[in-house]
Amino acid sequence: MYLLLFCEVFRPVMGFVMLCHRKTNWDSSPVYLLVTMSVTFLLLSGNTAGVFGIDNATGVIFIARDLGLSSVGFYTLTVRVTDSGFPPLMATASARISLILSDFSQPKFSLNDSIGTHVITVNALSRSAVIYEISRGNDENGFFINHHTGVITTRRPLDFEQTTSYFLVVHALSMAGVEASTTVIVQVGDVNDNPPVFREIRYVGVISEAALVNTVVLGEDGNPLVIQATDRDRNHNALLVFQIIDDTARMFFSVDSGTGSIRTISSLDYENFSEFVFRVHVRDSGFPPLSAESPAEVIIKVININDSPPKLSQDTYEAVLLRPT
């Protein structure tokens, strides 16, 4: 991993180019990659909802669609680069991107899911008493308005994963029969109330015993083996961290805490370990963090190569032949 990107979300447009900054000294010097032949870049994983795109020729990562408040958060992209040689060679890297709100973004009102939580007080000026009511937008009956004070509170627990925002039309009627209305926009704040869930309970990968250290383990389909999990929460609450549980497997493999891809950290020997069976744990980054109900099982099969020449049981053999007389 060699890129750490910071971007602000403020009226972004498709095609907006992200500036990559060095991680080592936090300066503003762009990162340039020197290549000696044509290469092709591809986003393998981590591009939730298609937020980003990558220029296949230059490797520049850009915003691929208009962003909203739900896009704010952390992303870990796995990028693969392939050269044009024969046979083609490839390498992968991770790019971590943090999308944050700009200081100039429109403020949003958020609330928790407690019943009776105060949302806002609507006030209409009139020389006579005013009666308030919510005329539209309260189809789920999630809010209550005091008809005399205009105080809006929650009537039931709210679920961010079900509805992220509400548009309430509040109607005010004076004793003189004069009417007025206004719109109240309620943005529901996400809380970490959903644990991550593995997409599969078992993952199978293969790797040659001749693979170099830091080689990505491949799946049975030939693509990089990626441990995948989902989290219904958003933003930081949905940032997942993977970890290998078993000690023996940790001596030979590491799992990228952000992407779930598995790499070698030590040389392999089929004659010592022809197969690895271990478990991977996942948790989110919310507070408090939540973990998957059970770990996923990972099976990595080591491919044998002809690296052990035959060896005689002893260096010298002696025999005595008796000739018949």
Q: What is the CATH number of the domain that holds 129?
A: 2.60.40.60
Q: How does pLDDT run across 100-130, given as a tens digit for each residue?
A: 766 555 444 444 445 678 888 998 888 888 9
Residue numbers of the domain that contains 275: 192-307
Domain endpoint, select from 187, 215, 248 = 187
Average pLDDT over residues 17-41: 50
Report the pLDDT value the prediction gives residue 276, as an integer from 0 to 100: 96
Report the pLDDT value the prediction gives residue 157, as an integer from 0 to 100: 86
3-state percent helix, strand, coil for the chain, nearest multiple of 5:
5, 40, 55
Report the pLDDT value the prediction gives residue 112, as an integer from 0 to 100: 43
The candidate with the shortest Cα–Cα distance to 37, out of 93, 102, 86, 108, is 86
Fill in the amino acid letter for 132. Y
Q: How does pLDDT run across 147-186, given as a tens digit for each residue?
A: 999 999 998 888 888 888 899 999 999 888 888 999 999 8
Identify whether 111 is part of a domain: no
Token pair for 315 = 């260096």
Domain endpoint, select from 76, 104, 132 = 104
Helix (H), strand (E) at residue 247: helix 247-250
Structurally, the chain folds into a number of domains equal to 3
Q: How does pLDDT run across 46-76, given as a tens digit for each residue?
A: 887 788 899 998 889 998 887 765 666 778 8
Helix (H), strand (E) at residue 61: strand 61-63
Q: Is 137 helix (H, G, I), strand (E, B) or coil?
A: coil
Q: How does pLDDT run across 220-278, given as a tens digit for each residue?
A: 888 999 999 999 888 778 888 899 999 999 999 999 877 789 999 999 999 899 999 99
Report the pLDDT value the prediction gives residue 193, as an integer from 0 to 100: 86
Identify whether 255 is part of a domain: yes
Q: Which residues, at least 6 apart from 2, have a Cβ–Cβ distance to it below 8 Å?
A: 23, 31, 93
Q: Is the pLDDT of residue 280 over 90?
A: yes
8 A C-beta contact, residue 314 and residue 217: no
Q: Is the pLDDT of residue 192 over 70?
A: yes
Identify whether 314 is part of a domain: no
Q: How does pLDDT run across 291-313, given as a tens digit for each residue?
A: 999 999 999 999 998 776 778 88
Fill in the amino acid letter for 100. I
Average pLDDT over residues 141-150: 92
